[in-house]
Structure 1
Amino acid sequence: MDIESAGHALIRPGQLLTDRGALSTAARWTQAVSEGDGVCMVHLSQGVDPCELTAELREHGFRASPNHVLTGQPLFFGGPASRPFPAEPVHYRPGRSRSEVTVGLLDTGVAGHRWWADADWYEQAAEDAPDAVEGAQAGHGTFIAGLLARQAPGASLQVARVLDGEGVGDEAAVIRALHRMRGRPPQVLNLSFGGHTFDDRPPPLLADALAELSDTVVVACAGNTASDRPFYPAALGSVIAVGAVDSSERRRAPYSAHGSWVDACARGDWVTSSFLEQGEFAGYATWSGTSFATAVVAGTIAAAAHDRPARQAADELLSLRETRQIPDLGVLVPSSL
């Protein structure tokens, strides 16, 4: 896998993301340049450190970033957050009511499932973002789609695949997907993935791409890092960062990231939802992680947005006057699952 460690972050070696204005300054270190869907990627000459070049370009006022690797959460951390377990079928029947709300889902894609067999959005999703069927996290997007469907009945999903079957993607792929969403922006956007940056500073190009979706409420997982280190894109100021509480909905799940930058939390432990039909799985799984707490929060906002702007629904949900707080995790959003 084309990944290397840069300090305490993962990056694609030899790749740097920047705006077009920096190309002439970076030319002496450049082997090739590719551009498309809002991303200008510089392929660096052998031996050039993308982190060092990023720092130099930023000193000259350019927006630049290594191509950070982003992973679905629960990847890489042990305990109950590490893998899905087979589950008995969940008796859920989609209602006939329709909502005008669309929830964007950037993830591993969404596989077919009885819960949305007749949904209008799935045909387009299957064409645009086929599910990765091999890998430890192949069913990650399908699992999250089920949580969104149950939290926000009648809402449509707008699906883009940015993670492979192992739950791994990168900043460039996410920026491209966000760029393509600008023509038809969703009211709510679920991002159940992320990563650390090499310098713990916000990734500017990813922040720019999200800012272009100015009317979209972006909800992202705080990560399964069990630390207070900022995890992006969740730690961006414009994003609702979501941590996880345990099944009692009273205590922080031991794997959940936490800190002043986390805005909200929901149950992430031992959640059951839709899954792939393969191997020991018969279309359902139980899984744990901040990924799934994120879907609870995003779905709750989407449900409330059926009769008001999504941003108003989010503001009301996070109001300190009417909601319970969990220390270092923000507002608790109760799960209806």
Structure 2
Amino acid sequence: MFDQEARLERLLARHSDAVVVEPMPGRRALIRRDQLLVAERDAPAAQELVRRWHDSSHDEHGVTSLRLRAPAKVDVCELVAGLGRDGRHRRLSLSPNHLVHGQPMWWSGPADLPRPAKPLPAPHAAAARREVTVAVLDTGLSPHPWYEDADWFAEQRAEVAEILDSDLDFELDAQAGHGTFIAGVLLRHAPTARLCAHRVIGGDGVGDELDIIRALARVVARGGADVVNLSIGCHTFDDRPSPLMARAVAALGRRTVVVACAGNTGGDRPFWPAALKQVIGVAALGRDGTDRAWFSNYGWWVDACAPGEDIASSYVYFDGPRPGMRGVDPDEFRGFATWSGTSFATPAVAGRIAGLAAAEGIEAAEAADRVLAPSSHRALPDLGVVVDTPCEAT
């Protein structure tokens, strides 16, 4: 168990515009201070209602970001709650700009850190009946022998490259390599998939709701994707879904399957966007694959589960400052690692869906129905359908 409060302090120091809110005792959330997200169609009404505190506005992808004047010290959560339930204003789609985190996270710090691992055999690309695209919204991608010669990797833009040491302390950032690791898990289950990376969180594992909405809009603008992997998420200030996030997910269309991690806070509090009805929320099983991993969230809103502890996958190349002992260097990574978290159960499920869609030449939605069919798969209370992932045993 890591010191949660110390890690939270470091996060707040690194993100000076972040603030902890706790409208309900014991149910904290993180938001961007003095920011309000509003559906574009509701922006004029919202701007009129907040005109006394309004500082600036920015419109993008159907969402207006309203910035309020800091000296006014507006309680954004209270403002959203009031506008959301108050008579004629209840139809406004608005939300604070919640911070989102990559998962492995235990509230404000990783439930687990990556450890160097021995090389794994590259995924074997079997015959596929159709091409399947998986959008990965995460920390980006670093070159790796498993895919660096693939045409889809060559097409990736420079701005999606992983940033490994943003604070220049000669150590890997807390979640650097997160996206590269997830790419490997996906390819182990769907070797022929074309991955499309969108960098929405930094190497510290932190981004925000607006970043995800923008990336989802880019996915739509580029023709969509068969599967979207979201190994990121957050708790909201009122434990309800953000209407802006829900709209962005719905805009992907019914042919796109969205798979998201259930989070690592070890409780049943809804974690978003995994808890959205149109999203497959994925919990993590422990090492033996028979029951919930100690860190994994659970609840009525979880749809599936897969192994998420001590998972091996592709990783970055990096040698940190710690000296080796007895022939073992604890922070020298040579392209492979083991890691734990619902972050890594999620691409196993997404990969199984994408792999079946490619192999059988079917739509991703049909593949998801088959992978998660309760009539032919075991289910666990509050963890959903157990997704068979045989390659995790290697």
- With normalisation by structure 2, the TM-score equals 0.83
Q: Structure 1, residues 103-149: CA drift from partner, whole Å, max 9, x if none?
A: 01000001000000211111122435111212111100000000011
Asked whether the equivalents of residues 225 and 256 of structure 2 are also in contact (C-alpha less than 8 Å), the reply is yes
Greater CA drift, 262-271 or 321-330: 321-330
Select the residue among 156, 178, 186 that pairs with 1:148.
Answer: 186
Match of 1:57, SS state, is: helix
Say if 1:45 and 1:285 are closer, same or farther in 2 by CA, change over 3 A.
Answer: same
1:50 paired to 2:76: yes
Match of 2:162, SS state, is: coil
1:171 paired to 2:171: no
Alignment of 1:185-334 (within 5 A): 185-214=224-253, 215-279=255-319, 280-306=332-358, 307-334=361-388
Greater CA drift, 44-53 or 228-237: 44-53
Say if 1:19 and 1:27 are closer, same or farther in 2 by CA, change over 3 A.
Answer: farther
Runs (4+) of structure 1 moved beyond 3 Å?
76-81, 96-99
Match of 2:264, SS state, is: coil
Larger gyration radius, structure 1 or structure 2? 2
Partner amino acid, structure 1, of 2:36:
L
Select the residue among 59, 69, 75 that pairs with 2:99.
Answer: 69
Partner amino acid, structure 1, of 2:199:
R
Partner amino acid, structure 2, of 1:327:
P
Partner of 2:326 in structure 1? none
Asked whether the equivalents of residues 266 and 294 of structure 1 are also in contact (C-alpha less than 8 Å), the reply is yes
Quote how far apart the aligned CAs of 1:80 are. 8.4
Match of 1:81, SS state, is: coil
Asked whether the equivalents of residues 80 and 270 of structure 1 are also in contact (C-alpha less than 8 Å), the reply is no
Counterpart CA distance in 2 for 1:297 and 1:128 is 27
Counterpart CA distance in 1 for 2:149 and 2:35 is 42
Asked whether the equivalents of residues 120 and 336 of structure 2 are also in contact (C-alpha less than 8 Å), the reply is yes
Counterpart CA distance in 2 for 1:309 and 1:133 is 36
Match of 2:51, SS state, is: helix
Counterpart CA distance in 2 for 1:110 and 1:96 is 23
Partner amino acid, structure 1, of 2:79:
L
Greater CA drift, 310-319 or 294-303: 310-319
1:4 paired to 2:15: no
Quote how far apart the aligned CAs of 1:181 are. 1.2
Q: Structure 1, residues 295-321: CA drift from partner, whole Å, max 9, x if none?
A: 100000001112111101111111111
Asked whether the equivalents of residues 312 and 336 of structure 2 are also in contact (C-alpha less than 8 Å), the reply is yes
Unaligned runs of 5+ in 2: 1-14, 23-27, 166-172, 320-331
Partner amino acid, structure 2, of 1:16:
L
Select the residue among 136, 139, 148 that pairs with 1:108.
Answer: 139
Asked whether the equivalents of residues 57 and 63 of structure 1 are also in contact (C-alpha less than 8 Å), the reply is no
Asked whether the equivalents of residues 227 and 354 of structure 2 are also in contact (C-alpha less than 8 Å), the reply is yes
Counterpart CA distance in 2 for 1:258 and 1:305 is 27
Quote how far apart the aligned CAs of 1:11 are. 0.5
Counterpart CA distance in 1 for 2:48 and 2:333 is 53
Asked whether the equivalents of residues 125 and 160 of structure 1 are also in contact (C-alpha less than 8 Å), the reply is no
Partner amino acid, structure 2, of 1:122:
F
Match of 2:146, SS state, is: helix
Counterpart CA distance in 2 for 1:250 and 1:276 is 30
Asked whether the equivalents of residues 261 and 281 of structure 2 are also in contact (C-alpha less than 8 Å), the reply is yes
Partner of 1:123 in structure 2? 154
Unaligned runs of 5+ in 1: none
Match of 1:182, SS state, is: helix
Partner amino acid, structure 2, of 1:131:
E
Aligned residues: 337
Match of 1:114, SS state, is: coil
Greater CA drift, 326-335 or 64-73: 326-335
Say if 1:96 and 1:252 are closer, same or farther in 2 by CA, change over 3 A.
Answer: closer
Q: Structure 1, residues 70-90: CA drift from partner, whole Å, max 9, x if none?
A: 000012459983210110111
Counterpart CA distance in 2 for 1:277 and 1:222 is 28
Partner amino acid, structure 1, of 2:388:
P
> What RMSD over aligned residues (CA atoms) do the two structures have, in Å?
1.6
Partner of 2:197 in structure 1? 159
Asked whether the equivalents of residues 89 and 284 of structure 1 are also in contact (C-alpha less than 8 Å), the reply is yes
Quote how far apart the aligned CAs of 1:327 are. 1.9
Partner of 2:36 in structure 1? 16
Asked whether the equivalents of residues 105 and 341 of structure 2 are also in contact (C-alpha less than 8 Å), the reply is no
Counterpart CA distance in 2 for 1:79 and 1:66 is 22
1:181 paired to 2:211: no
Counterpart CA distance in 2 for 1:213 and 1:90 is 34
Greater CA drift, 194-203 or 174-183: 174-183
Asked whether the equivalents of residues 285 and 293 of structure 2 are also in contact (C-alpha less than 8 Å), the reply is yes
Match of 2:197, SS state, is: strand
